Amino acid sequence: MSSFVAGRFRLEDVYDQLNCGLVMLDRDLNILLWNAWMARHSRVPASAAINADFAALFAGQVTPALLRALDNTLSYGLPSLLSSALHRSPLPLYPHHPGGQGEGAQRMAQSVVLTPIDNPDGQRLCLMQVTDASNSVKREKMLLSHSEVLKRQVGTDGLTGIPNRRYFDENYTRALQRVQEEGGTLSLFMIDVDYFKQYNDLYGHGGGDRVLKRVAETLRTHLQRPDDVLARYGGEEFILLVRNLQPQQAAELGEALRQAVYQLAEPHDKSLVERRLTISVGVCTRELQDDNDGRQLLEAADAALYRAKLGGRNKVVSIT
């Protein structure tokens, strides 16, 4: 396929109006074409670029990947694309700021396309098109941070702001694998607010929401290590996962949680325990050998919580 140019205009004017860089190089990397966009963004005017040796002109400033790609195009006739995702800034090009470019300006993110052009005289040339990829890099960054925010939202409980059950379930699988590989123990705490139905009945749903937030915040302050996971597991139920505690230490942590909520001194006039808000805690600490152990640990912690409830509530039951 060939194209034709009809009419009275100079092709150079067209090149200079293009919103992308256009460079033509011969086999020895001599520059045959250098449009105005290239001059603007490289700070090298066409008068200095034309007939200059491309590699020498930008000695040490062009990435080895671009030089390799140029060699492939000129030696073997292979087209090439250096995308900004993998090759951020192959050429020393800078955003154009009228009135001068400050020292230390950052290189422009670029996308470079190399196309072999076989001249009728048998000489192979390379056409290099350079586009400013800054906007797509910015867009990519924005999308990435949006998806990070969404990921966080999906795993967060809307009321309390702590991780939700979905987040917990995903983390639990990972924690089980880690304990199976590295050894040690896993302690699972099931924490439940006592007589919460009655609390709602007396103080209203809004009052219930408020204390749930307060309880979550109080439990959160007891996390000690970055891989401790506290989540809202259901309505007024929380779950906590802690690695490498001895059963005695797990019982002590459970007791610290119970006391911390007790000391909030939130009135609960309909509680059959005391006239303040309390929690019951069931905890199970185990070493894990196989995949079923994860399910059994959950069931055991749940059974421990049930015993704490049966035992009068406002209690910690720790089992192994």
Ligand X SMILES: Nc1nc2c(ncn2[C@@H]2O[C@H](COP(=O)(O)OP(=O)(O)OP(=O)(O)O)[C@@H](O)[C@H]2O)c(=O)[nH]1
194 binds ligand X (CB under 6 A): yes
Task: Report the residue from 96, 141, 205, 295 that binds ligand X according to the rule CB under 6 A.
Answer: 205
CB closer to ligand X out of 149 and 272: 272
Task: Report the residue from 116, 262, 309, 319 that binds ligand X according to the rule CB under 6 A.
Answer: 309
CB closer to ligand X out of 144 and 272: 272
What is the per-residue burial (b if ≥16 Cβ within 10 Å, else e) of 203-236? beeeebeebbeebbebbeeeeeeeeebbbbbeeb
266 binds ligand X (CB under 6 A): no
Tell me how far apart the alpha carbons of residues 115 and 68 are, in angstroms, rounded to a whole number: 14
Tell me how far apart the alpha carbons of residues 201 and 84 are, in angstroms, rounded to a whole number: 60
Task: Report the residue from 96, 174, 197, 275 that binds ligand X according to the rule CB under 6 A.
Answer: 197
49 binds ligand X (CB under 6 A): no
Q: How far is the CB of 172 from ligand X (least distance, A)?
A: 21
Task: Report the residue from 208, 254, 282, 294 that binds ligand X according to the rule CB under 6 A.
Answer: 208
23 Ramachandran zone, left/alpha/beta (phi>0; psi -120 to 50): beta
33 binds ligand X (CB under 6 A): no
Segment interacting with ligand X (CB under 6 A) among 57-65, 76-84, 86-94, 198-206? 198-206
Residues 6+ apart with CB under 8 A from 172: 229, 241, 294
Q: How far is the CB of 136 from ligand X (least distance, A)?
A: 43
Task: Report the residue from 62, 159, 223, 298 that binds ligand X according to the rule CB under 6 A.
Answer: 159
Q: Is 255 a catalytic residue?
A: no
Check: CB of residue 46 under 8 Å from CB of residue 118.
no
| H or E stretch covering 202 | helix 196-220
Tokens describing residue 24: 């033509």
- Residues with active-site annotation: 236
